[in-house]
């Protein structure tokens, strides 16, 4: 499963599990117990191999990293790995969550277009990465997401109403309406609040992984990011720190082809993000992110490896962003609608549904019922959230510091007096009472 490519004298050699571990062990031994050899010094930190042949290593020297997948276009050949254990209920639950995410996205996207919420970001076409990976980890594991991982939170138990309340920033929103829509967070579900500046979550997730390692709870951090975010300096810092500090973290890169409008061919050269993993000393898998079962299995293997060895793991999940970057973007300005139509055929939901039907777990009738049910419940939660009042206006002053400092309490007191005197001029009924 886990393949690492080593190059030796220009030959292409693939080492699988056992062989790989042996090679790694030998490398460690030579690095730490370098023998004194007057003719051939052993350089620090690398495996020293001398050659008389001057060779330039470039990406042509080795095959591209293969993409792991389970669901082929034709379901006759689907063969699940031997230790693939998911019961029927979980398989169906995965499909239901993917559909829920998709429908919720559509409704919230439309509501932004109608001016009901200020902003939204969809995960259309990327449902498999979120649901597949989320199903493979535990609630004790800590999630650091970017902004396109609502599905992960949905899988962990965030209700549709929770999502709606956050997008509306009403008084039931756990973040008190302080964040832009889609910047979800849940302490209960170990899902760290989304940060807008790109890639800050990577080093932070490594720090959390370090804390988890110290706690000896046998858990890990899971950190999501896009291939565009991987260009930030923070990504380098995070990979290198995770490797050198040996932190249990799974980096999941959603390579969806575009960073807002910048296509991957302008984002990086070389063999994607996965090729960077071995260079940092991080075991890596490239997986078909449109295949929910492959995503589940790859994450499961990564988690086992990660918690067992207390070391980092990198997954590059290949997918395509069918939706626009956000509601502030119109992607037809930089890509053709033919391209979008092409990838729509490979939508993970379609592929997974067809697999479930082929094994007799799903049918047209159930699909219609599910979609109808989800739509009704999302719309209901949506209407409820819209009717809800805003958080108490006093929340404007809280949570800057654990104990409110004098200069802030003075401001709050002065506003209290002002509101008491001029309450008739303010729409106080829109706000929750203190």
Partner 1 sequence: MFSSAVRRVVRRSFSTSKWSGAQQMTVRDALNSALDEEMERDEKVFLLGEEVALYDGAYKVSRGLWKKYGDKRVIDTPITEAGFAGIAVGAAMAGLRPVCEFMTFNFSMQAIDQIINSAAKTFYMSAGRVNVPIVFRGPNGAAAGVAAQHSQCFGAWYSHCPGLKVVSPYNSEDAKGLLKAAIRDPDPIVVLENEILYGVQYPMSDEALSKDFVLPIGKAKIERVGKHVTLVAHSKAVEQALEAANELAGKGIEAEVINLRSLRPLDIDTIVQSIVKTNHCLTVEQGWPHCGIGAEISARISESEAFYHLDAPVIRVTGVDTPMPYTKSLEIAALPQMSDVVFAVNKVLGLQ
158 neighbors 376 (Cβ within 8 angstroms): no
| Antiparallel, parallel or unpaired: β 262-263 and 258-259 | antiparallel
Distance in angstroms (rounded) separating the CA atoms of residues 348 and 218: 31
Q: Which is closer to partner 1, CB of 187 or CB of 387?
A: 187
Task: Tell the smallest beta-carbon distance from residue 211 to partner 1 (Å).
Answer: 4
Give me the least distance between CB of 208 and partner 1, in Å please. 4
Rounded to an integer, what distance in angstroms lies between the CA atom of residue 10 and that of residue 56?
10
Cα distance between residue 244 and residue 246, in whole Å: 5
Residue 24 CB, nearest approach to partner 1 (Å): 21
Dihedral sign for Cα 424, 427, 432, 434, please.
negative
Cα distances (Å, whole numbers) of residue 380 to 37, 154, 251, 286, 373: 75, 17, 36, 39, 11
Q: Which stretch binds partner 1 (CB under 8 A): 174-182, 258-266, 294-302, 311-319?
A: 174-182
Q: What is the closest distance, in whole angstroms, from the C-beta atom of residue 171 to partner 1 in the complex?
A: 11
Q: How far is the CB of 161 from partner 1 (least distance, A)?
A: 17
Nearer to partner 1, 19 or 211 (CB): 211
> Buried b vs exposed e over 41-51: b needs ≥16 C-beta within 10 Å?
eeeeeeeeeee
Query: Residues 7, 59: contact at Cβ < 8 Å?
Result: no
Cβ distance 5 to 12 under 8 Å? yes
Which of 245, 419 has the CB closer to partner 1?
245
Alpha-carbon radius of gyration of the chain? 25
H or E segment and range at residue 339 = helix 337-344
Stretch that binds partner 1, among 9-17, 78-86, 209-217, 291-299 (CB under 8 A): 209-217
Is there a catalytic annotation at residue 358? no
Residues 375-434 contacting partner 1, CB under 8 A: 395, 398-402, 405-407
Burial class (CB in 10 A: 0-12, 13-18, 19+), 52: exposed
Tokens of 278: 């071995």
Residues 6+ apart with CB under 8 A from 92: 356, 361, 362
Among 65, 94, 205, 285, binds partner 1 (CB under 8 A): 205
Does the footprint of partner 1 cover residue 209 (CB under 8 A)? yes
Residues 244 to 263 in contact with partner 1, rule: CB under 8 A: 244-245
Which one of residues 45, 52, 115, 197 is an interface residue with partner 1 (CB under 8 A)? 197
Check: CB of residue 132 under 8 Å from CB of residue 299. yes
Q: Is 9 in the site for partner 1 (CB under 8 A)?
A: no
Member of 204, 218, 231, 358 binding partner 1 (CB under 8 A): 204
Q: In the set 234, 291, 316, 388, which binds partner 1 (CB under 8 A)?
A: 234
What the block records as the tokens of 13 is 């050699």
Q: Which of 127, 227, 316, 325 is catalytic?
A: 325
Binding window for partner 1 (CB under 8 A); candidates: 7-15, 55-63, 240-248, 422-430? 240-248
* Angle at which helices 292-309 and 348-358 cross, to 10°: 100
147 binds partner 1 (CB under 8 A): no
CB of 214 to partner 1, least distance (A): 6
CB closer to partner 1, 30 vs 175: 175
CB of 232 to partner 1, least distance (A): 9
CB of 286 to partner 1, least distance (A): 25
**Longest Cα separation, the chain:** 90
Tally of CA atoms within 13 A in the half-sphere of 19 that contains its CB: 10
Q: Which stretch binds partner 1 (CB under 8 A): 96-104, 131-139, 236-244, 379-387?
A: 236-244
Catalytic-role residue among 133, 326, 331, 388: 326
Annotated catalytic residue within 59, 88, 110, 304: 110
Catalytic residue among 196, 309, 328, 337: 196
Q: Which residues of 377-396 are buried (b: 16+ CB within 10 A; e: fewer)?
A: bbeebbeebeebebbebebe
Q: Give the binding range for partner 1 (CB under 8 A) out of 76-84, 130-138, 187-195, 294-302.
A: 187-195
Give catalytic status of residue 326 as yes or no: yes
Instruction: Tell whether residue 236 is a contact of partner 1 (CB under 8 A).
Output: yes
Tokens 């799903």 sit on residue: 362
* Residues found near partner 1 in the complex (CB under 8 A): 142, 144, 174-176, 178-179, 183, 185, 187, 192-193, 195-197, 200, 202-212, 214, 221, 233-234, 236-238, 240-241, 244-245, 395, 398-402, 405-407
Point out the residues that are catalytic.
110, 196, 325-326
């Amino acid at each position: 499963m886990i393949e690492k490519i080593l190059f030796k004298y220009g030959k292409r050699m693939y080492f699988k599990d056992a062989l790989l571990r042996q090679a790694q062990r030998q490398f460690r031994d030579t690095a730490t117990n370098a023998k004194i050899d007057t003719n051939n010094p052993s350089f620090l930190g690398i495996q020293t191999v001398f050659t008389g042949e001057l060779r330039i290593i470039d990406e042509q020297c080795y095959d591209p990293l293969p993409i792991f997948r389970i669901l082929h276009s034709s379901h006759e050949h689907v063969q699940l790995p031997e230790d693939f254990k998911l019961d029927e209920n979980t398989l169906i639950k995965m499909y239901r969550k993917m559909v829920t995410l998709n429908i919720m996205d559509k409704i919230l996207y439309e509501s932004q277009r109608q001016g009901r919420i200020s902003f939204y970001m969809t995960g259309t076409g990327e449902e498999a990465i979120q649901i597949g990976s989320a199903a493979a980890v535990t609630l004790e594991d800590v999630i650091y997401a970017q902004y396109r991982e609502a599905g992960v939170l949905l899988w962990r138990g965030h209700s549709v109403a929770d999502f709606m309340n956050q997008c509306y920033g009403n008084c039931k929103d756990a973040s008190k309406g302080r964040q832009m829509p889609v910047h979800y967070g849940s302490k209960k579900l170990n899902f760290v609040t989304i940060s807008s500046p790109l890639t800050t979550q990577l080093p932070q997730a490594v720090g959390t992984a370090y804390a988890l390692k110290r706690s000896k709870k046998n858990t890990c951090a899971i950190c999501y990011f896009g291939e565009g975010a991987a260009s930030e300096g923070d990504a380098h810092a995070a990979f290198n720190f995770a490797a050198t500090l040996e932190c249990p973290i799974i980096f999941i890169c959603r390579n969806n082809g575009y960073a807002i409008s910048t296509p991957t061919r302008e984002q990086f050269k070389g063999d994607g993000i996965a090729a960077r993993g071995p260079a940092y000393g991080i075991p890596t898998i490239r997986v078909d992110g449109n295949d929910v079962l492959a995503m589940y299995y790859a994450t499961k293997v990564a988690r086992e490896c990660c918690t067992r060895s207390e070391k980092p793991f990198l997954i590059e999940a290949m997918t395509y962003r069918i939706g626009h970057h956000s509601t502030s973007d119109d992607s037809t300005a930089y890509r053709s609608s033919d391209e979008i139509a092409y990838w729509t055929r490979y939508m993970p939901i379609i592929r997974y549904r067809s697999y479930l039907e082929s094994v007799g777990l799903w049918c047209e009738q159930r699909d219609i019922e599910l979609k109808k049910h989800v739509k009704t419940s999302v719309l209901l939660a949506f209407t409820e959230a819209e009717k809800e009042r805003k958080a108490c206006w006093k929340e404007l002053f809280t949570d800057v510091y654990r104990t409110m400092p004098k200069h802030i309490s003075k401001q709050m007191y002065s506003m209290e007096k002002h509101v008491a005197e001029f309450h008739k001029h303010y729409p106080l009924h829109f706000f929750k009472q203190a």
